[in-house]
Amino acid sequence: MIHRRQALLGVGAAALAAPSIAHARPRRTQRVLYLSQSVGWLHNTVARPDDGGLAMSELAMTEIGRASGAFTTRATQDASEITPALLAELDVLVVYTTGALPIPRQSWQAIQAWLASGRGGFVGLHSAADTGLDFPGGREAWVGMIGGDFAGHPWNQGDPIRIRTHGDHPTVAMWPEVLDYREEIYQYQGFDPTRVRVLQSLDLARTPTKRPWAVPVTWVRQIGHGRLFYTNLGHTPSTWSDPRFRDQIVQAVQWAGGAGRIDADPNPLDQAVDSIRALLTWSGDDPAVTDELTGQRPAWLLDMGRRITALIDHEGDEDALTAAVAPLRREVLERA
C-alpha cells in the first residue's frame, strides 16, 4: 500500500536529525514515488519496523523533500502498484530495491514509455543495480536501463574508500573532488561505458582494496527525452544523515524531473583512462603512467577500456584473473 499520508505526516524529527544544508530554490516541486521493495536482500535502511511504520529511508526521503521544498513523497514497497494511471500522477520514480520486482511486462513497457517521452525521470539508489523484473528476460531489461548489474561488493560499509568526483554536474556538485569515505560499494557486470556519463568513481590508487577495473559510483544517462540518475551510495544510515548525500538526492530528483541542463553525454574515453589506471594500480605499477597515454588513438583507448572492463568475468578466480591481466598490462606499458 502506498503510504502517502504517513509519508507526508509521520516524520520523527529526532530520528532524522541531521545537519542542515542550503538548497537552491527548486524549479518546481516534483511528485516522487519512492519504491523500496526488497525481493532479494533486505537492507536495514529500507526495513520497516514491526509496528507497520515507515523505514528509515522512507522517513528520510519524506523529510528531505519537505525541508527542501523540492519534492513530495509517496512511499511504497509493492512495485505491482505502479500502473499507467499512477505514472500519470508522478514526475520522478526513485528506487532502492533488490530482486525480481513484481512489475508485469505491460507495466514495465509503460514505465519505459513514460521515461523515454520525458514525462518522468528515474533515480536509482544503491541496490537499484541489484534488481530485475519478474518475467523472462526481466533482469536483462532492468540492467539495460540502469546501466550495470551487481557483481559483488569488495568494499564493505566499514571499509575506507576514496571517491573522485568528475566535473561539476549538478547532481555531484555538493561533493569535493576527492572524498575519503566509508560505504559499501558495488562493482558491476554488463556495464557499458558508451551509454553513461560517470560522475563519481573509486580512486583505487588511494583505496586499500583494489580491483583491476574501474569502479563507477555515480552516473547519469539520457533515455529518449528522459533522464536517469544512479548512485551506489546509500547503504549505511550514516550516509543518509550526511547533508551532502541528502542534497544529492534533492538535486538528482530535480535533475531527473527535467530541471537544468541535461549534460549526460557518455564519457567512455575518461572511463577507459580510469580503467587503465585501475589495472596498473592493481599490478603494482605507477598509475601516473596513464599520463603518457593521452596521445593514443581513441579507438585503442576505448578497446583497452572494454577489455579491462571484461576482466570482471574472472572475479573469484585469482589465477585466471592474473593471467588475463598480464597481456593487457604489457600492452599498456609498451604504449606508454
> pLDDT tens, 84-112?
999 999 999 999 999 999 999 999 999 99
SS (H, E, C) the chain: CCCHHHHHHCCCCCCCCCCCCCCCCCCCCEEEEEECCECCCCCHHHCCCCCCCCCHHHHHHHHHHHHHCCEEEEEECCHHHCCHHHHCCCCEEEECCEEEECCCHHHHHHHHHHHHCCCCEEEEEHHHHCEEECCCCHHHHHHHHHCCEECCCCECCCCEEEEEECCCCCCCCCCCCEEEEECCECCEECCCHHHCEEEEEECCCCCCCCCCCCCEEEEEEEECCEEEEEECCCCCHHHHCCHHHHHHHHHHHHHHCCCCCCCCCCCHHHHHHHHHHHHHHHHCCCHHHHHHHCCCCHHHHHHHHHHHHHHHHHCCCHHHHHHHHHHHHHHHHHHC
CATH 2.40.128.50 fits 4-13+28-256, yes or no: no
Instruction: Kindly report, as residue ranges, where domains of CATH 3.40.50.880 are found in the chain.
Output: 4-13+28-256
pLDDT per residue as tens digits for the range 218-260 = 999 999 999 999 999 999 999 999 999 999 999 999 999 999 9
Q: Is the pLDDT assigned to residue 182 strictly greater than 70?
A: yes
* Confidence at residue 295, expressed as pLDDT on a 0 to 100 scale: 84
Q: Does the reported pTM lie above 0.75?
A: yes
**What percent of the chain is predicted at pLDDT more than 90?**
89
Mean pLDDT across 56-80? 98
More confident site: 333 or 8: 333
User: Sorting pLDDT into bands at 50, 70 and 90, what band is 27?
Assistant: low
Q: Is the pLDDT assigned to residue 24 strictly greater than 90?
A: no
User: Sorting pLDDT into bands at 50, 70 and 90, what band is 9?
Assistant: very low
Mean pLDDT across 152-157? 96
